Amino acid sequence: MTMKLESLSNEVLLDLFELLDVVNLLRAFSGLNTRFNSLLFGDFQSYRVDLRSMSKEDFYIFYSTYLPSILNRIIYLRLSDDEDTPCQCSHFQSTGFTLNRFTHLRSLIFNSFSTDVNINQEFFTGLHHLHNLKRLKFVDCRLYHLHLEDFRDVIDQIWNLPKLSRLYWHISFKCSRRFSLPKYTSRSLRNLTIVNYNYDSYDFACLLEKTPYLRKFSMLSDDYGDQDIRISRKFLPSSHTSSIRELTLFSIRSQALMTSLFQFLPHVTHLKIEIFSIDLDGHQWKKMIVNYLPQLKDFQFKIDLDLCRSIDDSTNEDKIDQYLSTYLTPFWIEHHQWFVRCHWYQSNGVLGICVYSLPYVFSYFPRFDQDFNFHTKSTCSPDMNHPYNSVRDIGYEPWMFHNEALSHIQLSNIEKLSLQLPIDQQFFSIIPKLENLLSLTVAIPSFL
């Protein structure tokens, strides 16, 4: 039985339009008849324009043919300047459609802007006209031809947007690893992520003063040093830090930085943290949580570190048991019901571990070489199967899942997958579906 599109109600057609990218939508339905034109250019108010992977030909067709008719109905815009769409932003500039004309935007994403010298601070000056903007993201933007000082006015515009609630900031400038403090105070920002910047307590305290209603703060640090961010009475917790409830920290390598942030934010109830090369056990975590984060309810962490010198399998397992015993106290098991899993391996005479909270909440699955004598243990009972639903990226190694403790895992949301042929029968029980897959890398051995 077949059904004509014309027989569908307007409501169903509008729902269908939501599922199609803007170029194919307009190519397919624009000009078919009066009803479709009325729906497209009258009733449909939620155009989402994602220009990633759009060909140069489609780009110019869209801007010359369709954009003028839907400009005031675009609520989402994603501009890209990556390897698939080089110099797209320069093409955008050449069309004359500046940012200030997209006045109905609610979400705006700048994706992988490069060192194209045509993209400067003037490109972003229309941001202050976007009074309906709620979400703004700068994703891996490499503006190495600009100094941070050149961008101060843009930062001030962002902090002055009346409805902006979420900001993701990942921009690299020439000769700078700091974040420029805004001149204005944002009363709308609730969620802030800043990637790859160095901090001292003065910067951080001032930033919080400019975002007094912030609820969630996320940071990816590239600070390898162990120098403390300067702490003084002026920078201890205040009313400006009391609003933050969710704290996410990635790639933390300085215990001093981590501890100082905890001291700043004593009202955090949700903590997610990824740590490298900091020797922490369950007793030390308990001390920090009790002293600095007394309201913590949800604790998610992952630590990668070299625990000690590797002796032999039996001695190594004893060392792991001693380490895991610090996560088996009443504080962990009875009071909070926080459980962990620990992978351990031997490499270059060192006993390395990867210990993480359960359920696992990070986007990539831990990967180890088969020659590293891999083992795993958990503090929870064997009949407790914790999900790994957050995993998006995996290098599939069949031998890892031969371990009984990991054989039940299902990774159903994989977006990036690398593997070597041939795959084993267990593959489809570990990765039962690939409907979200965006990237696949396959290695084919020479003997196949």
State yes or no: pLDDT of 4 exceeds 90.
no
3-state secondary structure of 236: coil
pLDDT, greater one: 3 or 351: 351
pLDDT of residue 191: 97
* pLDDT of res. 410: 93
Strand 298-309, strand 350-358: pairing: antiparallel
Q: What residues contact 291, with CB distance under 8 A and at least 6 apart?
A: none
d(CA 346, CA 436): 34
User: Which residues make beta-bridge pairs with 355?
Assistant: 303, 342
Q: How confident is the model at residue 396 (pLDDT cuts 50, 70, 90)?
A: very high
Nearest to 401 by CA among 371, 351, 365, 362: 365
HEC profile for 174-229? Answer: CCECCCCCCCCCCCCCCEEEEECCCCCHHHHHHHHHCCCCCCEEEEECCCCCCCCC
HEC readout, 300-315: EEEEEEEEEECCCHHH
d(CA 306, CA 344): 10
Helices 255-264, 201-209: inter-axial angle, 10-degree rounding? 30
Total residue length of the chain:
448
pLDDT, averaged across the chain: 86
Q: Are strands 74-80 and 47-50 parallel, antiparallel or unpaired?
A: parallel
Q: Would the pLDDT of 25 be above 90?
A: no
Alpha-carbon distance of 353 to 332, in angstroms, equals 19
Is pLDDT at 125 greater than 60 in this prediction? Answer: yes
Q: For residue 324, is pLDDT > 70? A: yes
Q: What is the pLDDT of residue 223?
A: 59
Q: Please tell me the predicted confidence (pLDDT) of residue 3.
A: 55
Q: 14 φ, ψ to 5°? A: -65, -35
Q: What is the pTM of this model?
A: 0.87
What is the model's pLDDT at position 62?
83
Among 118-132, 156-170, 308-322, top mean pLDDT goes to: 156-170
- Give residue 96's region: left, alpha or beta (phi > 0; psi -120 to 50): left
213-251 residue pLDDT tens: 999 999 987 655 444 444 433 445 555 557 899 999 999
* Choice between 136 and 71, residue whose per-residue pLDDT is larger: 136
Q: What is the DSSP secondary-structure string of 145-181?
A: TS-GGGGHHHHHHHHT-SS--EEEEEEEETTB-S-PP
Residue 302, both tokens: 């992952």
Segment 335-342 shows an average pLDDT of: 97
Provide, rounded to the nearest whole percent, the portion of the chain with pLDDT above 90: 45
Backbone angles phi, psi at 404, to 5 degrees: -55, -35
E-strand ranges in 39-73 read 47-50
Summarised one tens digit per residue, pLDDT across range 45-56 is 888 888 876 777
User: Residue 271: beta bridge partners?
Assistant: 247, 299
Of 250, 238, 242, the closest CA to residue 269 belongs to 242
Q: Work out the pLDDT band at 16, boundaries 50, 70, 90.
A: confident
Q: Is 26 exposed, middle or buried (0-12, 13-18, 19+ CB in 10 A)?
A: buried
Please state, for a pLDDT cut of 70, what percent of the chain lies above it: 89
Mean pLDDT of 253-264: 87
pLDDT value at residue 359: 96
Q: Give the span between the Cα atoms of 216 and 243, in whole angstroms.
A: 9
Q: Are the C-beta atoms of residues 161 and 187 closer than 8 Å to each other? A: no
Torsion of CA 158, 161, 167, 172, to 10 degrees: -10
DSSP class per residue in 112-140:
S----TT--GGGGGGGGG-TT--EEEEEE
Cα–Cα distances in angstroms (integers) from residue 342 to residues 281, 307, 357, 364, in the given order: 12, 12, 9, 16
Q: What is the pLDDT of residue 200?
A: 59
102-115 residue pLDDT tens: 999 999 999 887 76
